[in-house]
Structures are given as structure tokens and as C-alpha cells.
Amino acid sequence: MTAIDWDIWTPKDFGLDPNKNILQAPICDCGCGQKMSMLFNDKQWKEFAMSFLHEYDCDWSIIFAVHPNKTMEFIIRNDTKYGFGGGAIENWKDVGKTFDEAELVNWGLMMDDGLYNALNGQHKYKILE
């Protein structure tokens, strides 16, 4: 996988309405105000997304993970049930289309930098805001 510099991407690049975003990047503890990436392996991002959706007070939400090889995965919280899905992305706006078609209220999106750490299987994820 080639890395993508996600820094300049906005919700509109994915066809998503920025007002419906529920995820925020963690801010560095030192006080510099910098937004931090998060390190997850495949299992860890799913756990993170599920526990976030569990805590968040909306039953109709989705969290996406997009990968530089143009695939996505997502976890949907639909009422009290959780569903997992994903697939290839032809156009990055397919993400917004998936959101619209599922008729959900809120979204969160994490962008994988595609740089795999062979030691622990973790990727660096940036949260879209």
C-alpha cells in the first residue's frame, strides 16, 4: 500500500456532511494543541469504534475506516445492534453514499495511513474532522 497524506482531506472529499461528524482527534497532552493520530491494529480499531458507538448517545451511527488501497470497513450501530461491513471504494465519495443509503444520523471516519508496523500489526489512523 502506498501512503496517502490525509492532512488536507475534508468530509466533503468523502461526500459527507461535516455537521454529522461525531469523532474528534485526541489532542496532545503536552499543551501544544496538536491533534494526534491513533495507533490500532485491525482488532483494536473495531474495539475502539464499537466502544465509542456504545458510549455515544445515538442509535443510528456509523464509523468508517478507509485505507489507501481504496477499501473501507465500517461498524454501524443500528438501534442496539451492531453490524460490520466494508468493501472496495471506486470513488472516495462512495463513503458518503454508503452513509446516505444506510439512513443513519451520525458518522465518524478514520483514515489509515497504510504504513503497517510489522511488529504489532498497527496502522496509524487519523480522525477526519
Query: Which of 33, 29, 66 is CA-nearest to residue 49?
Result: 66
Which one of residues 7, 8, 30, 80 is an interface residue with Zn ion (CB under 5 A)? 30
CB of 25 to Zn ion, least distance (A): 13
Distance of alpha carbon 63 from alpha carbon 109, whole angstroms: 6
> Which CB atom, from 26 or from 85, has the smaller least distance to Zn ion?
26
Is residue 118 at the binding interface for Zn ion, with CB under 5 A as the rule?
Answer: no
Using the rule CB under 5 A, give the single segment among 12-20, 28-36, 58-66, 107-115 that binds Zn ion.
Answer: 28-36
Question: How many C-beta atoms surround the C-beta of residue 85 within 10 A?
Answer: 13
> Which CB atom, from 32 or from 119, has the smaller least distance to Zn ion?
32
Amino acid at residue number 26: P
> Which CB atom, from 12 or from 35, has the smaller least distance to Zn ion?
35
CB of 22 to Zn ion, least distance (A): 24
Please, is 59 exposed, middle or buried when counting C-beta atoms within 10 Å of its C-beta (0-12, 13-18, 19+)?
Answer: middle
Is residue 27 at the binding interface for Zn ion, with CB under 5 A as the rule?
Answer: no
Which one of residues 32, 88, 118, 119 is an interface residue with Zn ion (CB under 5 A)? 32
DSSP string spanning 8-39?
Answer: G--GGGGT--GGGB---PPBPTTSS--B--EE
> Which CB atom, from 4 or from 38, has the smaller least distance to Zn ion?
38
Is residue 28 at the binding interface for Zn ion, with CB under 5 A as the rule?
Answer: yes
Residues 76/102, Cβ–Cβ less than 8 Å: yes
